[in-house]
A and B are shown apart, each in its own frame.
Chain A
Amino acid sequence: NAGVTQTPKFQVLKTGQSMTLQCAQDMNHNSMYWYRQDPGMGLRLIYYSASEGTTDKGEVPNGYNVSRLNKREFSLRLESAAPSQTSVYFCASSDPLPSGNTIYFGEGSWLTVV
């Protein structure tokens, strides 16, 4: 199983450009997440989706939009990138059953906004 797959792995954007980070999971999980991690920091929740068709804001949603396209896929869009959005982005998924809400992470997407 691939688990959680996110693309692209690296991206450089100019200020004001837009882009979408893609994420897919093959574990049939209901819940999916987008986190950002700044250097030397913990993860901060941007948006999450408790189930297909629902999304909700996390701690730092400003400047981002999300789409839960189907049960497998959850994308994160930066409409007008800013240098403050330079970060590593992690997609994740979880489900109460059978893994007891263990969160499975993708390998991260390194985004630099210049």
Chain B
Amino acid sequence: SQQGEEDPQALSIQEGENATMNCSYKTSINNLQWYRQNSGRGLVHLILIRSNEREKHSGRLRVTLDTSKKSSSLLITASRAADTASYFCATDEGGYNFNKFYFGSGTKLNVKP
């Protein structure tokens, strides 16, 4: 399947530090999305990057996409304790399967105050 893989599985940093997590996928895509999940809650959309884009910013978030390596990274700058959550990437199957999404297993981020 297309399911992405996040790396690392867990990440623990101090408040104020940057957090970088990576996502790799298997087949071509139309777009890649990053989501955040607080414990016991549903997923919340963070940012979407299209296959023809290489970098995108939203507030303290920076996402890059390398379609030749089939990988993406999410950078959270100046992290806060409130950023503690699990982060997932989601990919479609490319082509006309633009609305069939697969998620990776996530990176669990712990930001220590």
Which residues of chain A have C-beta atoms less than 8 A from B1's C-beta?
A: 59
In Å, the complex CA distance between A42 and B106 comes to 6
Q: Chain B: how many interface residues by the 8 Å CB criterion?
A: 26
Among residues 11 to 25 in chain B, which have CB atoms less than 8 Å away from a CB atom of chain A? none
Inter-chain contact B35/A48, CB cutoff 8 Å: no
Given A43-B103, A48-B99, A50-B99, A103 contacting B90 (CB threshold 8 A):
yes
Query: Which of A61-69, A77-85, A94-102 touches B?
Result: A94-102
List residues of chain B with CB under 8 Å of any chain A CB. Answer: 1, 3, 6, 30-31, 33, 35, 40-45, 48, 88, 90, 92, 98-106
A sample of 22 inter-chain contacts (CB < 8 A) reads: A33-B101, A42-B6, A42-B105, A42-B106, A43-B88, A43-B103, A44-B3, A45-B100, A45-B102, A48-B100, A50-B100, A59-B1, A59-B3, A90-B42, A90-B43, A96-B98, A101-B31, A101-B33, A101-B98, A103-B35, A104-B45, A107-B42
